[in-house]
Chain A
Amino acid sequence: MYKNEQLDEEKVFKDPVHRYIHVKDRVIWDLIGTAEFQRLRRVKQLGTSFLTFHGAEHSRFNHSLGVYEIVRRILFNFEGRKHWNNEERLLCLCAALLHDLGHGPFSHSFEKVFKLDHEAFTRQIVLGDTEVNHVLRRVEEGFPQKVADVINKTYEDKLVVSLISSQIDADRMDYLQRDAYFTGVSYGHFDMERILRVMRPLEDQVVIKQTGMHAVEDYIMSRYQMYWQVYFHPVSRSAEVILSKILHRAKHLYEQGYQFSLKPTHFLSFFSGDVSLEDYLRLDESVVLYYFQMWIDETDEILSDLCVRFMNRKLLKYIEFNPNLQMNEWMELYQLFKKVGIDPDYYLVVDSSSDLPYDFYRPGEEGERLPIYLLMPNQELKELSRQSDIVESISGKKRTDHKLYFPMDFIQALPDDQPEKNKIKTILGLADID
């Protein structure tokens, strides 16, 4: 039976994070070989972070294999344990491998600008007429739907879902370590082997044996540090702001009937809001960067300038910004930018931490979101932050900020005798900079 078919010899992928990724199931091997999965090689895991951390060129392909490997190891430890049904093994492995399948190029900005949802595309790839679907259907007719349900977190067995998606899941455990490795930062490391050894399956969730609390503390701490040091890095956010403005500008120009020198064929359905799965799969990051390179030569000055900034890393500068205390200053700046001919809709941007797709650990309110539970020696469950002072102290910390981005070079290039120049510089705190 295809479902249980094993490869004659185990395949291994060398991996810098997990050392080896082991594949013995024929289904997994076949899924890795599909066009839709191979496409993930051309979508970077960390979007624009490579402009800050030059090593961060790793792809969603690497990460997806990593998540698969972690789930494979967890399930090895679960074998024979109460509450774990080994019949779900292949489903878990497939969902782990495919969970990010619908991510597009620079996913976060694309989703915001074009109102897309990568999860809906993951579903379409799994359920539609694709190579992935053909492989899954060979397992059994209803198998693609089960995989889609697990990824969508609506599968009936919540234990299966929690392996891929919970506050301590294989997805996070892989990306924290992988992103730390490729960015080169010294945060993001924790004792994953220990966590895997103390994970216990319960009826509808994975919990952590109380003796493993310190390993989990380390994981939460790594998560916290990675957010501030890598994910919320102001320079990556600057690149993300520019990227988003390029997409807005190109869309705006298209809507105004602007004649692009190079017809933006791959973007047309994105601009018109009717993106088919085929269109979506054709647009990977190499294609996007090709257009950005071409758009440098467009006659529209804003589009051209933004593309130069992104491609040549001439990013926007930033200052800390408090919308409560500086609202009037922002309004004044907006008008001053207009007066000197710098379009504030593209060059004066407030970016907030909530604009980023990352989350901290929160115990939250009952019924709000499932927290991490510790399994105590008397079999009681206790929420992590109620047991760990370290986690509790992090949970209470301020985790938000706002930054104001602007083009320093444009401001400096204004004539010195233009009165608005000094006003802008004063408000932005640049008065002493020539």
Chain B
Amino acid sequence: MLANHAKLMLFFKNAGEVVGRKKLQKMIYILKKCDIPFEEKYEFHFYGPYSEELTLRIEELCNLGFIEEQKESKSNYYQYRYTVTEAGEDFLGHSAVELPSCNEMIEKMKDKSSRFLELVSTMLYFDHLSKKEIEEKVQIVKKSSNYTETDIQAAWQFIKELK
């Protein structure tokens, strides 16, 4: 029961705390591309790969009291902070669902900005293309983000380390 919810809970448990919905979206996508079996469906949106299913599932976990969502007001927008609750720990205690080891990957991603993870996830979205084509595509679809050559090289290095 609720196997996909349980996988997300394991992610949160391993991560300890996740700050930002955008960051959360990109982290799960990157893990998925690294063969961690999350089943949320992603599509390409204005800001890169995005999963509506993930958004709703997180909302469910919050409504069930398994995850606590803290809303923090920033200058022009809100930012959200997620942690596992005691009820969430109980739920995991009853669940037989497991995730392949990905703690190291999660830790690496937590250290990165959401902007950087947006770049990495966008590059992974086009991983059926050649390296040169990916770089060209990123400049087309993320024109307004102004990623530099240095950003892109750092993202390649990061992808190499993850995989």
A-side residues, CB < 8 A to B, are 111-112, 117, 119, 152-154, 156, 158, 162, 166, 204-205, 322-324, 327, 330-331, 350, 352-354, 357, 359, 362, 364-370, 398-400, 402
Given A359-B52, A400-B63, A367 and B1 contact (CB-CB distance below 8 Å):
no
* Contact indicator A354/B141 (Cβ below 8 Å): no
CA distance A365 to B74 in the complex (A): 10
Chain B residue contacts of A366, Cβ below 8 A:
22, 74, 76-77, 79
Given A364-B21, A400-B60, A323 and B50 contact (CB-CB distance below 8 Å):
no
Chain A residue contacts of B21, Cβ below 8 A:
364-365, 368
CA distance A399 to B52 in the complex (A): 13
CA distance A327 to B66 in the complex (A): 13
What are the interface flags for B16-34 relative to A under an 8 Å C-beta threshold, 1 for contact and 0 otherwise?
A: 0000111001000000000
Given A354-B53, A365-B20, A398 and B1 contact (CB-CB distance below 8 Å):
no
Residue of B nearest to A358 (CB): B52
* Contact indicator B56/A365 (Cβ below 8 Å): no
CA distance A353 to B56 in the complex (A): 8
Chain A residue contacts of B22, Cβ below 8 A:
365-368
* Contact indicator A399/B56 (Cβ below 8 Å): yes
CA distance A158 to B44 in the complex (A): 12
Can you give 5 contacting A-B residue pairs, CB < 8 Å? Answer: A323-B91, A324-B66, A324-B87, A364-B55, A402-B60
* Contact indicator B77/A365 (Cβ below 8 Å): yes
Q: Which of B1, B52, B59, B74 contacts A323 (CB 8 A)?
A: B1
CA distance A327 to B92 in the complex (A): 11
Residue of B nearest to A366 (CB): B77
B147 in contact (CB, < 8 A): no
Q: Which of A112, A156, A368 contacts B47 (CB 8 A)?
A: A368
* Contact indicator B45/A365 (Cβ below 8 Å): no
Residue of A nearest to B141 (CB): A154
Chain B residue contacts of A353, Cβ below 8 A:
56, 60
A-B contacts besides A365-B20, A368-B50, A400-B60, 20 pairs, CB < 8 Å? A117-B41, A153-B44, A162-B46, A205-B46, A323-B5, A324-B64, A330-B1, A352-B5, A353-B56, A354-B53, A354-B57, A357-B53, A359-B52, A362-B55, A364-B21, A365-B77, A365-B80, A368-B22, A369-B45, A369-B46
Would you list the 8 A-B pairs with minimal beta carbon distance, nearest first? A366-B77, A354-B56, A370-B46, A354-B57, A400-B60, A365-B21, A359-B52, A153-B44
CA distance A400 to B126 in the complex (A): 32
CA distance A331 to B127 in the complex (A): 42
Chain A residue contacts of B118, Cβ below 8 A:
367
How many whole Å from A245's CB to the nearest CB in chain B? 14
B94 in contact (CB, < 8 A): yes
B-side residues, CB < 8 A to A, are 1-2, 4-5, 20-22, 25, 39, 41, 43-47, 50, 52-53, 55-57, 59-60, 63-66, 74, 76-80, 87, 90-91, 94, 114-115, 118, 126, 137, 140-141, 143-144
CA distance A327 to B88 in the complex (A): 12
Secondary structure at the B interface, as helix, strand, loop or mixed, is: helix
How many whole Å from A307's CB to the nearest CB in chain B? 24
How many whole Å from B117's CB to the nearest CB in chain A? 11
* Contact indicator B44/A154 (Cβ below 8 Å): yes
CA distance A327 to B6 in the complex (A): 13
CA distance A117 to B46 in the complex (A): 20
* Contact indicator B140/A350 (Cβ below 8 Å): no
Chain B residue contacts of A162, Cβ below 8 A:
46
Chain A residue contacts of B80, Cβ below 8 A:
365
Given A153-B45, A324-B87, A350 and B56 contact (CB-CB distance below 8 Å):
no
Chain B residue contacts of A367, Cβ below 8 A:
22, 47, 114-115, 118
* Contact indicator B44/A352 (Cβ below 8 Å): no
How many whole Å from B22's CB to the nearest CB in chain A? 5
CA distance A204 to B140 in the complex (A): 12
How many whole Å from A168's CB to the nearest CB in chain B? 13
Chain A residue contacts of B1, Cβ below 8 A:
323, 330, 350
CA distance A331 to B1 in the complex (A): 9
Given A156-B143, A354-B60, A365 and B78 contact (CB-CB distance below 8 Å):
yes
* Contact indicator A327/B76 (Cβ below 8 Å): no
Q: Which of A153, A166, A352, A364 contacts B60 (CB 8 A)?
A: A352
How many whole Å from B60's CB to the nearest CB in chain A? 4
Chain A residue contacts of B55, Cβ below 8 A:
359, 362, 364, 369
How many whole Å from B9's CB to the nearest CB in chain A? 11
Residue of A nearest to B52 (CB): A359
CA distance A354 to B40 in the complex (A): 9
How many whole Å from A260's CB to the nearest CB in chain B? 28
Chain B residue contacts of A402, Cβ below 8 A:
60
Chain A residue contacts of B63, Cβ below 8 A:
398, 400
How many whole Å from B123's CB to the nearest CB in chain A? 13
Chain B residue contacts of A330, Cβ below 8 A:
1
Chain B residue contacts of A111, Cβ below 8 A:
41
Chain A residue contacts of B25, Cβ below 8 A:
368
Chain A residue contacts of B59, Cβ below 8 A:
354, 399-400
Chain B residue contacts of A357, Cβ below 8 A:
53
Residue of A nearest to B137 (CB): A154
Chain A residue contacts of B52, Cβ below 8 A:
359
